[in-house]
Structure 1
Amino acid sequence: MDLNVILIWTVAVSCGLMIFQLLSQRSGRVRLSVPVLVLLLLAATAWLRPSRAGYVAGVAWLVFMVLPGAGMSLLGTLLARKSFRSARLVATLLGWIHPFDGARRLPKLIQAIGWLQNGQADRALPVLEKLQSAPGSVGRMALVVRTRQTGDWQSLLDWAYADPHRLNQPDPVLLDAYFQALGELGRRHDLLREYDRLIVRRPPFLPPQPLAMIHCKIAAFCGDELLVLQLCSSVLGSFPPELKRFWQATALQTSGRHQAAEAEFFELAESDNSAVAVASLRRLQSPLSSITDEPLDEFGRQTLAAVQRAAGPSIAAVSLYRRRRCWVTWSLATVLLLIFLAELPGGSEDSDNLYRMGALVIPVELNGAQWWRVITAAFLHYGPLHFALNTLGLIVLGRQLERLWGPGQLLITYLLAAIGSIAFAPFLMTIDDLDEWTILIGASGGVMGLIGGLLVQAAINLWKGRSRAMAREFGILVFVVVVQMIFDRNTPNVSSEAHLLGLVIGATCGLIWNAIWSLRRVR
């Protein structure tokens, strides 16, 4: 298995997925240019220097796609911790390696947010006013931060309505602020109608937490205390405690429990979080109307019910993930690691050593009565790259499936797929020269079994209750399977038969487990 080939496929698939995602989000040409240019670089180097194409394009992919993504995640973490100096440093580095969409202005925006947090609004507001006129996401973020500080929500609506295309962008920060503006101005009916228009009827792809925050705010403005509490204790669990308390208090106020809400806002007005303190004072000075004073019409009640249904799966998923620990997945990964370490003294790429440790020989007649090789071969690997890829796949996919199905079902599925694919793959292979022999090893069949199980589970979930998130998950899994099959057929020394068998065995297990669970529910 050649690292150059692995990198070529990794870069090609990653860029292809990002291009598809950006096109579906109707993102601008600037953001789209990064994966397109990396893909063109890969194509050019593959034509000129095929033996170096993966390494060259891989470096570009790492610098211009992977590092900016990781940097933005780190930036969010630093801002949540109020480490503004470190956040500015990260933002400056991001501006140099990813100078698109106004990223060079990001350090100024972070500096202004730091000033607001330190109570220096007189310094921050002029900077934000200047930044908000800049094009791109930084300008929109500056507008939102300034609006939340000043409370001038009507100006935000005027800006949004001045160009109808602004709300068509899948910008979670802007959509969140737009919905909040409608709620802050008491336009509860308009809030629900706009949610139906922008989210329900033509749903953009929004990450889970920003979408959950939108659901939380809508629920709070409509007095749904239970939904706010569920979201704050699950999907939004990592958000600052004072922010979650603020929206829970808002739900108390709009549900008519004014005294309880007032007590919360009095405490929050003394918070170290300046944004929450300012907003809490505003709630005390200008309380929101309660839902009992302005009850929802039939359309509003239906839309609020749609919000509750949309938020339900993410709440349940987080609860499930917290409840189950993935001890089977980590145990299997540990076993693979220990066996690979045992290979090293004799050589993890030495065929004789691997045969002594239990590799399956093809043709199978050469194994004699040593049937146990179909088991041991599923735990051996040919070299560090083979081991790393399979173990990474096991950890990533196994944890997800173990949380969905449970440890017993995950263990049985993995072992059946890993061992079954090794046992039956030789009967699907064509050996041109029976005088030649080779060995079959690896946990790839087990990993493909996990993909098959996830694919079946995603299809069942999609059938039970269609949503954009479920359709996207199913589509990604189908794409992964197709790419894997193409890769297998075009890569030497890779058993496409074992991979296909593992996929089928895992999918079959998924169908069996779901059938058993359905029968139990009926009883």
Structure 2
Amino acid sequence: MDLQIFLALSAASFAAVVIGQMVINETHRVPGSGRMFALLSVVILVAAAGYWLVPDIYGFLTVLALALVYAPGLLMLRASREMLAGRSTEAARFARFASLLRPDRDNRFSAGLFAALAEPTPQRRIDAMAGLKARATPPQALMVELQTLRQRNDWPGVVEFLRANPVPLPGDGINFPIRALGETGQLDALVQTYLGHRTTLGRTQLPILMVLSFCGRVAAVDALLPTIRLLPPVSKTFWYATALQAAGRFDEARRRLESVDQSSLTDIQREMIISRLERPVVDAAPLLSPGAAYQLDLMAARVRRDAPLRRPDWRRTPLTYVLIMANCLMFAVEVSRGDSQDTVNLVDLGALWPPYVVDQHEWWRLVSAMFLHAGPEHLISNMFALWVLGRFVEIGMGTWRMAVVYAVGGLISMAGVVGLTEAGLSEPNVLVGASGAIFALLGAIALQRLTDFLATRTIADRRNLTMVGMVLVLQAAIDLALPQISFAAHLIGLLAGAALGWVLGRK
């Protein structure tokens, strides 16, 4: 496969699927997301125009365009991580880099806000934000005012200000009303605020962490915290202690907070711990109505169900990494014997050639072909899909069930192609790749996600389902451009995986 086609198709397909996901999940309604929508559309246009105008480099240009779209956001995410860790100077530096890379109004404002928050004392932060407010747009001025109240720890003031100024909050500004309502003990309003904004929250977990913590759902908080890599350990201790206090376990919460090594904290982190020790949150149970408690129980159940899928490390998903290493090892053998895209080389190593399977009874090719790949692009696309899907399937179904889905689904996929060829419905072709087995994994997890969504109809499960669809479209778009891959093998593998997933069930 030509490298430029692979790069352009990968980047443009990713942009197209993200656009579709924004529409389906309604995250296009988030303030500021229209710009992201337009920039992703530009990536697709670069791929299309480059194909005709600069065919020798259009793949590189498409990848560069996609990188430029996401780089400022990644830098801002890093700035938020540094701020949460108490490293405000580093946070301001990353935000400034993001504004230089994409110098639009929002990024310039964010860089200025991070710079103001990097001032050493609360009063100097307030003074710096006063100057920033003078040149801000109305939504940005709202954010400055909220940050000013936050520096004074005036949470009742935050609640009153938001009631008097119902301006749409930019970005993650929803954290302010949720935090303020929690700190002031208005828990029914807290739950309703979260439910009213959940369609525009994207995939961030911080708002639901705050809701569950202020409402005393300790088990759900304990399951959720390891999945939020953005939070430093001291912040995780803070929110877990908050959940303990809200559950009425005040002595345990105090022990947690006092166990934090004060000497290792920044000034901001030390202020956070001291504030929770001096002003603990109240017991949540008497403050929650039955309706709010029911909604919290649903949220907590979903968090406990989905949390393991958010931290699939190699110790919990060994089979996925073993399969990736086996495929990479076989590719090294291909390269050592010659060209990895040479048909003769592939057939000698075990590629699927239907006449050999049927006429010479070389049934072993149904297995060996699953571990061969036609070129590095083919290998990279399949191993990326296996890395994404395999870990979630292995956690959700268990290692042995995943092994059955991968092996049996892949065999059915390859055998199906042989059957179609013998029936005269498909031309004989040399086939290689793990795509059939990977699509079997996709079918298994798609069935789980679809079942979850049909049972609950929740926003979270709809997002999980669309994520599976995103992987499906990306994999199909890339693999359909490879002549050595049969779309029939994909479809047969997908259906076989769904059937196997239904028979084997969950872990």
Deviation at 1:378, TM superposition (A): 1.7
Counterpart in 2 of 1:108?
112
Instruction: Tell me: CA distance 1:315–1:349, structure 2 relative to 1, closer, same or farther (3 Å).
Output: closer
1:207 aligned onto 2:206:
no
- Using a 3 Å threshold, how does the CA distance of structure 1 residues 148 and 243 change in structure 2: closer, same or farther? farther
Displacement of 1:51 in angstroms is 5.8
8 A Cα contact 1:149 1:278, kept in partner: no
Shift of 1:259: 6.2
Match of 2:411 among 397, 419, 426: 419
Change in Cα spacing, 1:448 to 1:105, as seen in structure 2 (3 Å) is same
Paired position in structure 1 for 2:17: 17
Distance in 1 (CA, whole Å) between partners of 2:205 and 2:141 is 22
1:507 corresponds to which of 486, 494, 498: 498
Query: Could you tell me how far apart the structure 2 residues matched to 1:148 and 1:421 are?
Result: 58
1:493–1:300 CA distance, 2 compared to 1 (3 A): closer
In structure 2, stretches of 5+ residues that fail to align are none
Q: Does 1:388 align with 2:388?
A: no
The equivalent residue for 1:242 is 234
Structure 1 residue 341 displacement after superposition: 0.9
Summarize the Cα distance change of 1:297–1:88 in structure 2 as closer, same or farther, 3 Å threshold. Answer: closer
Can you list the C-alpha shifts for 1:219-276, whole angstroms capped at 9, x where unaligned? 2xxx5555545544x4457633433333444445555566666676777796734344
Structure number with greater CO (CA < 8 Å, separation at least 6) is 2
Which residue pairs with 2:50 in the alignment? Answer: 45
Moved more, 483-492 or 342-351: 483-492
Query: 2:247, 2:76 → 1: CA distance?
Result: 37
- 2:475 aligned with 1:476, yes or no? no
CA drift of 1:100 comes to 3.3
C-alpha separation in 2, matches of 1:355 and 1:256:
68
RMSD: 3.7
Cα distance in 2 for residues equivalent to 1:265 and 1:511: 46
Q: Which amino acid aligns with 2:491?
A: L
Letter in 2 for 1:128: M
The aligned counterpart of 1:149 is: 151
**What is the deviation of 1:144?**
4.6
Q: Secondary structure at the match of 1:347?
A: coil
* Cα offset, 1:48, TM superposition: 3.8
Corresponding letter in the other structure for 1:210: L
Q: Report SS of the residue matched to 2:430.
A: strand
1:56-95 equivalent positions in 2, closer than 5 A: 56-65=61-70, 67-95=71-99
Q: CA deviation at 1:337?
A: 1.4
| 1:350–1:487 distance in 2 versus 1, CA, 3 Å | closer
Which amino acid in the other structure matches residue 164 of structure 1? P
Q: Which residue of 1 aligns with 2:180?
A: 181
CA separation in 1, counterparts of 2:42 and 2:306? 35
Q: Could you tell me which residue of structure 2 aligns to residue 55 of structure 1?
A: 60
What is the aligned counterpart of 2:350 among 348, 358, 383? 358
Match of 1:410 in 2: 402
The farther-off stretch of 336-345 and 54-63 is 54-63
Number of equivalent positions: 499
Contact 1:253–1:290 under 8 Å retained in 2:
yes
Gaps of 5+ in 1: 518-523
Deviation for aligned residue 1:287: 5.7
The alpha-carbon distance between structure 1 residues 362 and 298, as it changes in their structure 2 partners (threshold 3 A), is: closer
How much has 1:496 moved relative to structure 2? 0.9
2:123 aligns with: 122
CA deviation map 1:363-391 (0-9, x unaligned): 44786232222222221111111122222
Q: Given the superposition, is the C-alpha separation of residues 136 and 216 from structure 1 closer, same or farther in structure 2, using an over 3 Å criterion?
A: farther
> In the TM superposition, what is the alpha-carbon distance from 1:510 to its structure 2 partner?
0.8
Counterpart for residue 361 of structure 2: 369
Q: CA deviation at 1:513?
A: 0.7
1:331 and 2:322 matched: yes
Cα distance between partner residues in 1 of 2:53 and 2:423: 35
Describe the SS at the equivalent of 2:118.
helix
Distance in 1, matches of 2:85 and 2:456, equals: 37
Q: What is the distance in 1 between the residues matched to 2:208 and 2:282? A: 23
TM-score normalised over the length of structure 2: 0.84
**Does residue 1:34 correspond to 2:39, yes or no?**
yes
Partner AA of 2:152 in structure 1: T
**Distance (Å, rounded) in 1 between the aligned partners of 2:315 and 2:326:** 21
Hey, what does 2:271 align to over in structure 1?
278
Aligned-partner residue type, residue 148 of structure 1: R
